[in-house]
Amino acid sequence: MAEDHLPLRVRSGVSQDRSLTFRIIHNPRAGRKRLHRFNAVLNTLREAGHRYEIVETVQAGDAAAIARETTRDRVDVLVVAGGDGTVNDALQGIGPDTPPLGVLPLGTANVLAHEIGIGTNSRRIADCLMHGEVLQVRPGVVNGHRFMMMAGVGLDAQVVSDLRRVMKSRFGKAAYLIEVTRTLRRWSCDDISLISEGSGHSVATVIVSRGKRYGGSFILAPDGDITAPAFQVTLFPSGRPLSVFARFVAIPLRLVHRLKLVQQVETEGLEIEGPAGDPVQADGDIVAVLPARIMLSPDTINLCVPRSGS
């Protein structure tokens, strides 16, 4: 089996040291419009002489259960074929005996895939799975629930809370824009109270990041690093709902930091006190309600990433 924290030692070309065995957790609902990418990666693995088995999820919690019973003596790499939410689900079942985690992005935003540099390119995805390095990362934890990339309270969590899965499946990223117009009409935009490094803040929205990216490939936390022992916390100042939304629009325009529309702080943990009962999103799904405590997991996850310089 591939050794911990070392590159997956497989040579390119027809001749291999040995074939790898992949177990692929597939969320068919996430990949309906992206079957060409899914099949292209599978074809590459097969043509390179590797073995794989596909286990499909049916409902929430299935990916965690599959990950929980997948061990290194049977599988070299555990692959999640789905979106960030499916990765998050699998994350809940990963333990010390779980093989390295690989990503085959089929979701709407695929933040983790963009963060590690594979994006949605089938060649780069397959190359990472076959030849990548294993990186140790510490997930975040919100009220006992792990997350890989981000947690948020405020406008984005309200939108995620209201968004129906069928809308997301049908319209992709456009579904968020459709839903945000509805959310802005009803969202009261009450101040969120939080404590970080002993300092109190009152804000309209807060996003706690492990990496740099948000909503796909957009940079929200320039100093974010999934290997760093700290979070980058983005604070959206109090204001009316439309002013908060305008700051979100500035993220893909690369203006949010240039115009100093948000404040950013670094912390090893924080507590978000209220408003009590408000939803908390993590990796694009609602996982908790306020009050919430966010901290780094004491345990590491072995994540497949592209080789340095590739």
pLDDT along the chain (310 residues), means of 10: 34 51 94 86 96 96 97 95 96 96 95 97 97 96 98 95 63 67 90 94 98 95 96 97 95 96 97 96 96 97 88
The runs of H, that is alpha helices, within 17-61 are: 35-47
With the CA atoms of 121, 308, 74 and 68 taken in that order, what torsion angle do they form, in degrees rounded to the nearest 10? -80
Using an 8 Å Cβ cutoff, are 51 and 22 in contact? yes
Measured CA to CA, the distance from residue 134 to residue 130 in angstroms comes to 11
By DSSP bridging, strand 21-26 and strand 51-56 are parallel
pLDDT of 15 reads 30
pLDDT of 310 reads 62
pLDDT of 29 reads 86
Using an 8 Å Cβ cutoff, are 196 and 270 in contact? yes
pLDDT of 17 reads 57
The domain locations on the chain are 21-131, 145-296
* CB-based contacts of 172, cutoff 8 Å, min separation 6: 33, 108
pLDDT of 175 reads 62
- Looking at the domain covering 145-296, what would its CATH class be? mainly beta
CA nearest to 139, candidates 283, 305, 286? 283
Using an 8 Å Cβ cutoff, are 269 and 295 in contact? yes
Using an 8 Å Cβ cutoff, are 31 and 56 in contact? no
pTM value? 0.89
What is 21-131's CATH superfamily?
A: Probable inorganic polyphosphate/atp-NAD kinase; domain 1 (3.40.50.10330)
* CB-based contacts of 195, cutoff 8 Å, min separation 6: 201, 270, 271, 273
